[in-house]
C-alpha cells in the first residue's frame, strides 16, 4: 500500500496548502519545501560468508534554522530518497511544533536488517558513520533510531564517531542503550507521547477514556507503548494491533475478546516488532489479515506503522464510531483521508505533533549527555508530558483561532517558528 504513495510529494502537498493559507512569501516557501542538503553514498560490507556487498545509504538535512538537524536512521528494504526527504521535512515541523531547538534530518540504508547477522549489522552501522561523520555531530546533525534500528546500533554508531573524532562524544547519537549514554524513558517516549496527546484530545472532546477502545496498526516500539499506555494510563481497551511478520513476509492483525494484553504481547515479540503467531494463538488470540485492524469496532484509531496506510481506499473501512485518529507513524494518513476526517468530524492528531515524544526525549538525552548528569525516569517522562501537553494545547488554540483543521494548525505553528528563526539569523535578508 505505502509503495504506491510518494511520501515526499505528500509532505510537499501538505506544506503547500498551509503556505497559501499563511500567505507565505513564495521564495520563503520554496526554501522550506525542499531539504537544504542531501547525501547519497555507498557502504561496502564484508558479510560473514566472506563476500563483499555494497549497500545504498542516505542522509537528508532539511532545515537547521532552529538548531542541529535531528532524525532517525531507518534500515528498510523499501527505503528511498523521497521517503527520507519526507521524513526529514516532517522532522523540522515536529521539532518546531514541540518547541525544541532542533531542525529536521533523516537517514537510512536500503536493507532488511532481519537478514543480517549481528556482526554484519555492526559493520553496516559503522560503515554508515564512516560515510557521514564529517557532516554529523552534536552541533550540526544528531541521528537516532527509526524502523529497523535499535539502541545497540546507536551505541555502535556513537562509538565509531568517537573513534574518528578522537574523543568520547555521546551526544552525536540519541536513543542509545542505558549505560552507554542513553536516557531512562527513551524507550517508552514515542508511544507514551501518543497517549499524552490522546488523553488531551479526550479532555477537549469530553470523551470518557475508560469507555474507549483503540485499534492500533503496528507493534514496533511506538505501538507497543501506545498500546500499554492506552490501557494503563487511560484505562481503555485495545481491540487489536497489527504487525508485519518478517518470517512470512506479510502483515497480520491480532485481536482478542475483551481486548488484547499489551504486556503479554511484549513478551512474545522480537526486536523488529514481529509477534510470535503460534504463541499468540495458544493464548487465545485471533489472527487475521493485516488490513483487518482498520475495520475493528473502536472510537480511537492509532496508525503507528508506516506512511500512507490510511488512504481514500482504506478510510471507508473504518468504524463509524471513530472520534479520534492519533497518528503514531509519520505520514500515515493521506490528504484524501484528511478530507474524509473533515467531512465526518473526526478529530485528527497530526503525526508531527502526536509522535513528537521520541524526538523530545532524544533532545532530553542529548541535554543529559552535555551535562554528563542523568535524570530519573519519572523526571524524563514528567518533562515529556509537560512538553507534549503544551504542544497539543498550542495547536488546538491555533486551530480554534484560525478555524482550521488540526494538521493545518500544527503546520502554522511550526512554520511560523521556523520562519521566525530564519529571520532572526538573517537568512531572509540577502546578507546570510
Rounded to whole angstroms, the Cα distance separating 173 from 73 reads: 10
CB 64 within 8 A of CB 136: no
Report which DSSP code applies to 6.
-
Residue 279 appears among annotated catalytic residues: no
CB 12 within 8 A of CB 33: yes
Q: What DSSP assignment string belongs to 322-389?
A: --EEE--SSS-B-HHHHHHHHHTTPEEE-HHHHTTHHHHHHHHHHHHHHHT----HHHHHHHHHHHHH
Q: Helices 186-205 and 357-371 meet at what angle, rounded to 10?
A: 130
CB 267 within 8 A of CB 289: no
Rounded to whole angstroms, the Cα distance separating 231 from 194 reads: 13
17: part of which helix (H) or strand (E)? helix 7-21
Selecting among 70, 94, 106, 121, the annotated active-site residue is 106
Q: Which is it for strands 103-110 and 69-76: parallel, antiparallel or unpaired? A: parallel
Active centre residues (catalytic):
106
Amino acid at each position: 500500500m505505502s509503495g504506491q504513495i510518494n511520501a515526499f510529494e505528500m509532505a510537499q502537498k501538505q506544506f503547500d496548502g498551509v503556505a497559501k493559507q499563511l500567505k507565505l512569501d513564495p521564495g520563503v516557501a520554496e526554501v522550506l519545501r525542499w531539504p537544504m542538503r542531501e547525501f547519497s553514498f555507498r557502504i561496502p560490507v564484508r558479510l560473514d560468508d566472506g563476500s563483499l556487498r555494497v549497500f545504498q545509504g542516505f542522509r537528508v538535512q532539511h532545515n537547521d534554522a532552529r538548531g542541529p538537524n535531528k532524525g532517525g536512521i531507518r534500515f528498510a528494504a523499501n527505503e528511498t530518497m523521497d521517503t527520507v526527504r519526507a521524513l526529514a521535512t516532517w522532522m523540522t515541523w515536529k521539532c518546531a511544533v514541540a518547541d525544541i531547538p532542533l531542525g529536521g534530518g533523516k537517514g537510512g540504508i536500503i536493507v532488511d536488517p532481519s537478514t543480517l547477522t549481528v556482526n554484519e549489522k555492526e559493520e553496516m552501522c559503522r560503515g554508515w558513520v564512516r560515510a557521514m561523520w564529517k557532516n554529523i555531530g552534536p552541533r550540526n546533525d544528531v541521528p537516532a533510531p527509526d524502523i529497523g534500528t535499535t539502541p545497540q546500533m546507536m551505541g555502535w554508531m556513537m562509538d565509531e564517531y568517537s573513534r574518528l573524532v578522537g574523543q568520547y562524544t555521546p551526544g552525536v547519537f540519541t536513543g542509545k542503550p542505558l549505560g552507554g549514554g542513553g536516557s531512562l524513558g527513551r524507550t517508552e517516549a514515542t508511544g507514551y507521547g501518543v497517549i499524552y496527546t490522546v488523553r488531551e484530545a479526550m479532555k477537549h472532546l469530553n470523551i470518557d477514556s475508560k469507555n474507549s477502545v483503540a485499534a492500533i496498526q503496528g507493534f514496533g516500539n511506538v505501538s507497543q507503548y501506545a498500546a500499554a499506555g492506552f490501557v494503563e494510563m487511560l484505562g481503555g481497551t485495545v481491540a487489536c494491533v497489527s504487525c508485519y511478520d518478517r518470517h512470512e513476509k506479510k502483515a497480520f492483525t491480532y485481536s482478542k475478546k475483551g481486548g488484547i494484553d499489551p504486556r503479554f504481547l511484549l513478551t512474545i515479540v522480537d526486536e523488529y516488532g514481529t509477534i510470535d503467531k503460534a504463541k499468540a494463538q495458544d493464548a487465545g488470540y485471533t489472527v487475521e489479515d493485516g488490513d483487518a485492524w482498520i475495520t475493528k469496532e473502536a472510537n480511537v484509531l492509532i496508525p503507528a506503522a508506516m506512511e500512507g496506510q490510511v488512504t481514500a481506499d482504506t478510510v471507508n473501512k473504518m468504524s463509524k464510531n471513530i472520534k479520534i485518529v492519533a497518528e503514531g507513524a509519520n505520514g500515515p494518513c493521506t490528504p484524501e483521508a484528511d478530507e474524509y476526517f473533515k467531512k465526518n468530524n473526526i478529530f485528527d492528531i497530526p503525526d508531527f505533533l502526536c509522535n513528537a515524544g521520541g524526538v523530545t526525549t532524544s533532545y532530553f538525552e542529548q541535554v543529559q549527555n552535555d551535562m554528563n548528569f542523568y535524570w530519573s525516569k519519572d523526571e524524563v517522562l514528567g518533562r515529556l508530558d509537560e512538553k507534549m501537553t503544551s504542544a497539543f494545547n498550542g495547536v488546538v488554540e491555533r486551530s480554534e483561532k484560525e478555524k482550521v483543521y488540526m494538521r493545518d494548525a500544527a503546520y502554522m505553528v511550526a512554520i511560523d517558528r521556523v520562519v521566525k528563526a530564519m529571520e532572526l539569523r538573517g537568512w531572509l535578508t540577502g546578507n546570510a
